[in-house]
Amino acid sequence: MPTSTAARLIERRGALRAARRTQGGFTLIELGLVLLIISVVVAVIVPRFRDQSHAEMLAHTRKLATIFRFLQQEAILNGRVYRLTFDLDQQRYSVSSAEEGNDSSFRTESGVFSRPVALPASLQIADVDVPMISGKLYEGVTFTQFYPDGYVEPTVVHFDNGQEVYTLYIPDGLTGRAYVASGYLDLGTHG
């Protein structure tokens, strides 16, 4: 008889386990794993939504650095002076070029890089420093010129989104190379 009692107990345990499985409930371990997976996904995804203004600022700063390189090459190839104008009151910038034989009369350029660019409301140009033209300005209009010999006026532009600042700068007018750095860099270029 003892073996038949043991067999019945084993049979009952198996039946209870089968009944639990068919009820469709979750164990604490399963619930814990699901919560862990959800929290990892949220931890990865949510900061990306908050960093949208950061990405926007970085994209505009890099776009402007590309425009600087493009205008330097255009000035060399076309043999005329180009101007990148910053309107700090309107928070926009645009490209113009000198009319042939007249370096004092500029006309608006056409093309992909030449369309006026208005910054989104979440981003602003905090200041522009062009020491040879106007020095550091927080408002008004200033410009950087690109010459046919490849020279670019040293310039510092600070972008601000209210949380952080990025700096675009051209420290050496002979190379005209534009650099982008995180933070507010004051290169001491005031004249």
Domain spans of the chain, in order of start: 2-50, 53-182
Q: What percent of the chain has pLDDT over 90?
A: 33
Predicted pLDDT of residue 23: 58
pLDDT band of 191, cuts 50, 70, 90 = very low
Q: What is the pLDDT of residues 157-182, one digit of tens each?
A: 999 988 889 999 998 888 888 999 88
Is pLDDT larger for residue 156 or for residue 12?
Answer: 156
Separation between Cα atoms, residue 22 and residue 81, nearest integer Å? 80
Residue with tokens 């019945």: 8
Residue range 53-182 in CATH 3.50.50.60: no
Judged by average pLDDT, the poorest of 47-51, 85-89, 138-142 is 47-51
Q: Which two tokens stand for residue 41?
A: 């996904």
pLDDT band, residue 131 (cuts 50/70/90): confident
Q: Tell me how crowded residue 138 is: count the other CB atoms within 10 A of its CB.
A: 10
Per-residue model confidence (pLDDT) at position 99: 73
The stretch 143-148 carries a mean pLDDT of 92
pLDDT tens digit sequence for 85-129: 999 999 999 998 887 665 667 877 766 666 788 888 888 999 999
Counting every residue written for the chain, the total comes to 191
**Beta partners for residue 97, in sequence order:** 82, 107
Report which of residues 191 and 21 the model is more confident about: 21
pTM over 0.85: no
Alpha carbons within 13 angstroms on the beta-carbon side of residue 184 total 11
What mean pLDDT value characterizes the chain?
83
Using CA atoms of 159, 161, 164, 167 in order, give the dihedral in degrees to the nearest 10: -10
